[in-house]
Amino acid sequence: MNEQSLGFINQLIDKTERGKLSWSTGFEDGQFKTLLPDGKLAFVVQVKGERCRFLMLDDRQEVILDATVTRDDAHLDKVQGGIDQENLYEAILKLQELARSRALRVNEKLTKAGELLAAI
Amino acid sequence: MRSYGCDRGFLPLARRDWRIDFSLFLVSGYQYVRYDAGESVFRMILLDIPIPRDWFDWTNFTIGVSGLALTLWAIWQATGAKKAARRAEQSVIRHNAEVDFGSLTRMAKELHGYVEGGMMSEARLRTTDLRSELALAIRLHEAFLGDQLNLLKEKQLDLTLVTDGLNRESKDLSKSERIRLLEITGAIMDLLAGQCGKLRSSVERGASNE
């Protein structure tokens, strides 16, 4: 399950970096969502406190994949010699940061802020 | 001088003019062709039906033509009736969709009211109801939703996330989550009301067209 989630997360990171996916804010803090064309699939990524969560839902809003990992899980896994949870944790963190940047248009706002400050 | 049958009405060969011969040939040929071809064309046009000559023929002819006209009229009427039945069926389906979306709009208004009033347990129950009813309406009336389908699916996802969030921590919502919840329920209410209005207008337009 985690391997599949990791595969999808990496694909989402790639598509988001290329600007092919648009993200919007979800309901909870640190939650972002994206819908594929025609609403056939939806992906939700969330980082709240120490908990990272990745969801994949189908067109009927049924949860197909639900991967949740905490910082402790990732750390424990690393100590025990595993890399699965650690990779998943890092990947969700990276995707959430990208999604936040796209959903809140962070880069555009930073550029505008720079221009406004320069104009003062 | 040899006459070459001049005494029997033939011109001597030396004096015969080819133009006269050709004209004679054409005239005789035309008469022959006109007679035969005229008759066969006449038969072809009437499809071998004899021209009505007496009152019995004329009665038959009139009945035949009337029967043909009645058949054509009946076909025309049946085509019109089929189209009208199809329009009526579409109108009923649109009306049902309008009723369903009207009910969803009322539900969304209630939900928005509960969120505004801070009644989170009621809001949680209403969200679950709205979510399932919206899923049903989208499935049933997908054909009428057009470009609004994607927006409705996005709102459906919002409701799923809200249900999930409220089920886990409805009492511990942060300030920003409360604001977002108000925005989400408000946007859902607006979208559903807009969709309901669109469907109502299309039903009324359909009714006025009929």
Q: Identify whether residues B26 and B118 lie together within a single domain.
A: no
Q: What is the pLDDT of residue B38?
A: 55
Give me B77's structure tokens: 């009427």
- Interchain CB distance below 8 Å, A29 and B150: no
Q: Identify whether residues B177 and B127 lie together within a single domain.
A: yes
ipTM here: 0.84
Residues B10, B15, B19, B22, Cα dihedral to 10°: 30
- Please state, in angstroms and rounded to a whole number, the distance separating the CA atoms of residues B22 and B30: 12
Q: Is residue B50 part of a domain?
A: no
Nearest to B200 by CA among B101, B83, B130, B86: B101
Q: Identify whether residues B193 and B133 lie together within a single domain.
A: yes
Does residue B135 sit in helix, strand or coil?
helix
Q: Which residues contact A76 (CB under 8 A, 6 or more apart)?
A: A85
Q: Is residue B1 part of a domain?
A: no
> What's the one-letter identity of residue A66?
D
Q: What is the pLDDT of residue A113?
A: 95
Q: What is the pLDDT of residue B4?
A: 47
Q: Identify whether residues B110 and B14 lie together within a single domain.
A: no
Q: Identify whether residues B39 and B95 lie together within a single domain.
A: no
Q: What is the pLDDT of residue B168?
A: 78
Q: Is residue B80 part of a domain?
A: no
Q: What is the pLDDT of residue B90?
A: 84
Q: Is residue B150 part of a domain?
A: yes
Q: Is residue B174 part of a domain?
A: yes
Domain total of chain B? 2
Q: Tens digits of per-residue pLDDT, A22-71? A: 999 999 999 999 999 878 899 999 998 889 999 999 988 889 999 999 88
How does DSSP classify residue B50?
P
Considering only CB atoms, A33 lies closest to which of B150, B157, B181, namely: B157
Q: Which residue of B has its CA nearest to A23?
A: B154
Q: Identify whether residues B108 and B156 lie together within a single domain.
A: yes
Q: Identify whether residues B99 and B16 lie together within a single domain.
A: no
Mean residue pLDDT of chain A comes to 90
- Interchain CB distance below 8 Å, A28 and B177: yes
Q: What is the pLDDT of residue B42?
A: 57
Please list the ranges in chain B whose pLDDT falls under 50: 1-7, 9, 33, 35
Residues spanned by the domain of B30? 6-45
Q: Tens digits of per-residue pLDDT, B129-147? A: 999 999 999 989 988 888 8
Q: How close B145 gets to chain A, by Cα (Å)?
A: 12
How does DSSP classify residue A23?
-
- Interchain CB distance below 8 Å, A39 and B153: yes
Q: What is the pLDDT of residue A77?
A: 73
Q: Identify whether residues B100 and B26 lie together within a single domain.
A: no
Q: What is the pLDDT of residue B146?
A: 81
One DSSP character per residue, A27-42 reads SSTTEEEEE-GGGSEE
Q: Identify whether residues B104 and B203 lie together within a single domain.
A: yes
Q: What is the pLDDT of residue A31?
A: 94
Q: Tens digits of per-residue pLDDT, A71-114? A: 888 777 767 766 678 888 999 999 999 999 999 999 999 999 99
Considering only CB atoms, B157 lies closest to which of A28, A29, A61, namely: A61
CA distances from A35 to A25, A26, A103, B80, B129 (A): 12, 12, 13, 44, 23
- Please state, in angstroms and rounded to a whole number, the distance separating the CA atoms of residues A72 and B99: 51
Instruction: Provide the CATH number for the domain around residue B117.
Output: 1.20.120
> Which residues of chain B does A31 touch, with a Cβ-Cβ cutoff of 8 Å?
161
> Which residues of chain A does B176 touch, with a Cβ-Cβ cutoff of 8 Å?
29
Q: Tens digits of per-residue pLDDT, A12-22? A: 999 999 999 99
Q: Which residue of B has its CA nearest to A59?
A: B153
Size of interface A-B (CB pairs under 8 A): 48
> Which residues of chain A does B181 touch, with a Cβ-Cβ cutoff of 8 Å?
27
Nearest to B164 by CA among A9, A13, A53, A8: A53
